[in-house]
Structures are given as C-alpha cells and as structure tokens.
C-alpha cells in the first residue's frame, strides 16, 4: 500500500522560509515520478516541482524557480521541498504525489495516482 505523508507546513512571514517533507512507503515500482503540488483557496491544484526516480533531478515551475529547492534522502524514503523568499501567493495546501511511471506531463495533477493528505503553508505578516 503506497503511503505519502507530508509535514512541515505552518505560518510564515513574507520573505521567510519553510522546509516541507514527504515521507513515502509501500512502493513496489522502481521507476516513478514524484511531484509537489499546491492548491490555494478557490484555485486549481498546480504543479510546483517534479522529479524522476531515475535521475533525481528536480524541475520547478516558473513561479517558484530560483526560490524553491528540493532534495531527497534515499535512506529515509523522504523528499524535501525548501520554500525560500516566500510570498503571499505561495499560500496553499502543499501535496506530494507519485505516478508509477515516467510522466510525459509531470505538472499535471491528473498524471498522479497516489497523493498525500497535504500540509498547509500560510504566508502572512
């Protein structure tokens, strides 16, 4: 049973930073795409970043490029998303998700089969 658990959200002031974690387990597939998404109130879920298991290279949406970074700890089956220089528009629920293949549209939520419960990030002074 695939499980994804996000953590690390909270209230952050504009310009601040936060590190989100996504711990995953129960994978039986060795090739997959893992992505981060966010959803603001009243808006559609949007892709923030994605990574292929084969190369570990993270690709970022233009809206967060240069501000967000990603890393992974294979021993802990955990990926991290570091949110830097946060803005009010970064507010939302952040989700990690997995597609059990190499997605051709990795920023599309529809490509992903497994989702975590999400963690809320609120950027406000």
Integer Cα distance of 9 and 41 in angstroms: 16
pLDDT > 90? residue 40: yes
pLDDT tens-place string over residues 54-64: 888 999 999 99
What mean pLDDT value characterizes the chain? 95
Provide the token pair at 6: 């996000």
Integer Cα distance of 27 and 48 in angstroms: 22
pLDDT > 90? residue 33: yes
Confidence of residue 2 (pLDDT cuts 50, 70, 90): very high
pLDDT of residue 103: 85
pLDDT of residue 16: 98
Question: Beta 92-99 vs 68-73: how paired, if at all?
Answer: unpaired
Provide the token pair at 102: 């190499």
Integer Cα distance of 10 and 93 in angstroms: 10
Confidence of residue 104 (pLDDT cuts 50, 70, 90): confident
pLDDT of residue 37: 98
pLDDT > 90? residue 3: yes
């Amino acid at each position: 049973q695939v499980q994804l658990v996000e953590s690390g959200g909270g209230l952050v002031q504009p310009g601040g930073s936060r590190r989100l974690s996504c711990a995953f387990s129960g994978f039986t597939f060795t090739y997959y795409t893992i992505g981060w998404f966010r959803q603001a109130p009243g808006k559609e879920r949007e892709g923030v970043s994605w990574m292929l298991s084969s190369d570990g290279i993270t690709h970022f949406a233009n809206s967060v490029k240069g501000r967000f970074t990603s890393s992974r700890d294979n021993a802990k089956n955990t990926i991290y998303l570091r949110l830097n220089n946060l803005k009010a528009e970064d507010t939302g629920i952040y989700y990690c998700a997995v597609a059990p293949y190499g997605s051709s549209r990795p920023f599309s939520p529809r490509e992903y089969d497994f989702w975590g419960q999400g963690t809320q990030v609120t950027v406000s002074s």
